[in-house]
Amino acid sequence: MKQQHLYKKIVVKVGTNVITGKNGELDFEILSSLTAQIAALQKQGIQVILVSSGAVGAGRSLVKLSGTIAPVAARQVLSSTGQIKLISTYNDLFLQHGLITAQILVTKSDFSDRLHYLNMQTCFTSLLQQNIIPVVNENDAVSVTELMFTDNDELSGLIASMMDVEGYIILSHVDGLFDMKSGNGAIIPVIDPSNKHFHQYINPGKSEFGRGGMLTKCHIAQKLSRLGITVHIANGRKPGILLSILEGEKTGTTFLPQKPTHGPKRWIANSEGMEKGAVTVNMGAEMALVAGERANSLLPVGIVSVEGRFLKGDIIKVCATDGTIIGYGMAQYGSERTLSIMGQKDQKPLIHYDYLYITN
């Protein structure tokens, strides 16, 4: 009988700690097991995008850095050398299952321009249509400071959202999120992120690893859950873990999805930090946007101040008078025009509701 699976399209993220040993050398046993599971899923019609860390680790096992080298430069050297080893290992392993691997390296700025974002989306869609496995990593060789993702959890979250997947699976070297209240190291099986207080149950220290740690994982899981994506955090070293999750077995921690959001709103929802400017709105507009019965556009009449210089098509932040962020949206005209018509009635919305994402 054909096995029923939970999802048709997923993003799987594997952390450095899952696939490398102490000195950064790649763990072939784990990598073979993970690639075999992905190949099995792929052959059953499930589309899988793999985001894999481990380039810096693999580089460390290859290169003995000599002399004094700044940490940023060391990361550039290690990642650019290690990425070759990482991707060629994936290439060899997927080939054993008759599958072709594609390498995609990205920086944060790749997600900030809508056209560029859509081009990336087409690339992933085309690879999946051709039954090729996209293996993604941050372009660590060139992504420095503000171009950097917090970690690969953030990067994978952006791809999960861009590709409209149903499930996002974070494979780490721990079993899930530890319940702080239980005191005995129990894992929280299910989290409903619509419960604003869920963070208090989570022990961030116990399971800290990689570049970002558990708190970023929770933050991203919460964000994706708001877009309608189910997020799993599970132990990547557990035999058959991916297959178990897809078969609906309860393992690790699952973040329940909320009402799905689609299209440009998904892009805008992930645009925090990419905004070109901001507008502050009065209480009336704030109420209409946050608590309105139906989706409302942002009209100039409710705007009280404009910050920064933005143009039509740029992402801007919408704030309340006390400075709290209400949401993000795509401006329908620039900051100069906004300044000249703010406070006026009967003007075209600055942000149409289809392009407005309210953060809470």
* Binding of residue 17 to ligand GLU (CB under 6 A): no
Could you tell me the smallest distance in angstroms from the CB atom of residue 61 to ligand GLU?
Answer: 12
10 Å Cβ neighbour count for 346? 8
- Site for ligand GLU (CB under 6 A): which residue of 81, 87, 111, 140? 140
User: φ, ψ for residue 273 (rounded to 5)?
Assistant: 90, -10
Q: Measuring CA to CA, which residue among 329, 275, 269, 323 is closest to residue 299? A: 329
Answer for the pair 277, 308: CB distance below 8 angstroms, yes or no. Answer: yes
Least separation in angstroms between residue 205's CB and ligand GLU is: 18
Return the number of other C-beta atoms located less than 10 Å from residue 203's C-beta.
17
Can you tell me the distance from the alpha carbon of 227 to that of 115, in angstroms, rounded to the nearest whole number?
Answer: 21
Single out the residue of 65, 88, 96, 95 nearest to residue 78, CA to CA: 65
- According to the binding rule CB under 6 A, does residue 210 interact with ligand GLU? yes
110 lies in the binding site for ligand GLU (CB under 6 A): no
Question: Shortest Cβ distance from residue 304 to ligand GLU (Å)?
Answer: 40
List the structure tokens of 298.
Answer: 């942002």
Q: How far is the CB of 2 from ligand GLU (least distance, A)?
A: 35
Side-chain half-sphere CA neighbours of 16 within 13 A: 26
DSSP code of residue 354: G
Under rule CB under 6 A, residue 53 binds ligand GLU = yes
Q: Which residues inside 235-274 make contact with ligand GLU, applying CB under 6 A?
A: none
Nearer to ligand GLU, 94 or 355 (CB): 94
Residues 168-207 vs ligand GLU: string with x where CB under 6 A? ----------------------------------------
| 50 neighbors 87 (Cβ within 8 angstroms) | no
Q: Is 138 in the site for ligand GLU (CB under 6 A)?
A: yes
Nearer of residues 144 and 186 to ligand GLU, judged by Cβ: 144
- Member of 54, 193, 252, 349 binding ligand GLU (CB under 6 A): 54
Judged by CB under 6 A, which of 35, 80, 112, 152 binds ligand GLU? 152
Q: Which of 10, 48, 55, 218 binds ligand GLU (CB under 6 A)?
A: 55
- For ligand GLU, the closer of residues 16 and 81 by Cβ is 16
How many Cα neighbours within 13 Å face the side chain of 143?
19
Residue placing its CB nearer to ligand GLU in the complex, 140 or 175? 140
Q: Interface with ligand GLU includes 16 (CB under 6 A)? A: yes
- C-beta separation of 19 from 31 below 8 A: yes
Q: Answer yes or no: are the C-beta atoms of 171 and 31 closer than 8 Å.
A: no
Q: At what angle do helices 152-162 and 214-227 cross, to 10 degrees?
A: 10
Query: Shortest Cβ distance from residue 53 to ligand GLU (Å)?
Result: 4
Residue among 211, 219, 238, 352 that touches ligand GLU (CB under 6 A): 211
Question: Helices (DSSP H) in 104-211: which residue ranges?
Answer: 114-129, 152-162
Is residue 148 part of the contact set for ligand GLU (CB under 6 A)?
A: no
Report the alpha-carbon distance of residue 171 to residue 252 in Å, rounded.
Answer: 10
Residues that bind ligand GLU (CB under 6 A): 16, 53-57, 79, 137-138, 140, 151-152, 210-211
